Amino acid sequence: MCGDSTNWDEDAYRKSILKEREILTRTVFRTVWGPSKDGSPDTIVIASSDGSITSYSIPSCISKLPLGLSNIKVQQLLGIEPDGFLHGHDGPAYDVKFYGGNEDALLLSCGDDGRICGWRWKEFTESKVPINLQGNHVKPVLDLVNHQHK
């Protein structure tokens, strides 16, 4: 089978390969403990290379693990669903922090898109939207933009 290489677009091909790898892999850039009512943090929040901000309940994750962690496979860990999900940034989300330490705390994130966004933690954690429909279900109360050039 012969192919016509006269219309070959090397840049588009490279971009498609990078996009495919980005979809299949995700890098965690920062984790932070979420505020709790009793001072004992049980939620971890993650900023990832796909621009997402996710939260996981540590007790929930531990309860889903099989006994004998030494035999656990990475695929079993990957099946754990987050409690909350935000599509925070176009491009990687590099950092997450909390402003305030109680239920009124703001979840802040910054990303490669030059934005610093803030969401009300209580609104994020008390959302009744199913996880598969989350992403843009909570609107940021803070959205600062430092325009970037690509």
* pLDDT digit string, tens, across residues 34-60: 988 777 788 999 999 989 999 998 888
What confidence score (pLDDT) does residue 3 get? 64
What average pLDDT does this structure show over 97-107? 87
Adjacent-strand bridge partners of 16: none
Helical segments of 2-135, H only: 10-24, 58-64, 74-78, 121-125
- CATH of residue 85: 2.130.10.10
The identity of residue 109, as a single letter, is S
In a domain, 110, yes or no: yes
In a domain, 22, yes or no: no
CA of 88: how far to CAs of 32, 40, 63, 70, in Å? 16, 26, 28, 34
In a domain, 17, yes or no: no
Residue 5 has pLDDT above 50, yes or no: yes
What confidence score (pLDDT) does residue 10 get? 86
In a domain, 67, yes or no: yes
Helix (H, G, I), strand (E, B) or coil at 10: helix
Domains held by the chain: number: 1
What average pLDDT does this structure show over 68-80? 54
The closest alpha carbon to 95, from 32, 141, 35, 33, belongs to: 32
Tell me the residue range of the domain where 88 lies. Answer: 27-145
Taking the model in full, what pTM does it have?
0.73
In a domain, 19, yes or no: no
